[in-house]
Amino acid sequence: MSALRFAIDKVGGVAECARICGITPRGVYKWLHRDSLPRTEYTGETRHAQRMAAASKGAFTAQWLLENAGPASDPQHAPSPDATAAAGKA
């Protein structure tokens, strides 16, 4: 599962993610189609990752999502937030 799909599922699905981010569900589906957050997340124009992380009840951080759901990320090999946390404790 891609990091982006994981994050969207953790916040309650596409419709809930869209509500949290203040966009339409179609916008979220575009992210899923590209398997990437929009460019505006990386230029500071939007803060969708922060909003999603806040709504995730600790399932992931905005930093993790930005690192793993960007245009250059490899969705097949994105570590889960649990695996990332476990690696940091080793």
Q: What's the pLDDT score for residue 85?
A: 59
Alpha carbon distance 59, 76 (integer Å): 19
- pLDDT band for 71, please (50, 70, 90 cuts): confident
All structural domains of the chain with their residue ranges: 3-89
Q: Where are the alpha helices (DSSP H) in the chain?
A: 3-10, 14-21, 25-34, 40-43, 48-55, 62-68, 81-89
Q: What's the pLDDT score for residue 88?
A: 54
Q: What's the pLDDT score for residue 44?
A: 95
pLDDT per residue as tens digits for the range 21-45: 999 999 999 999 999 999 999 999 9
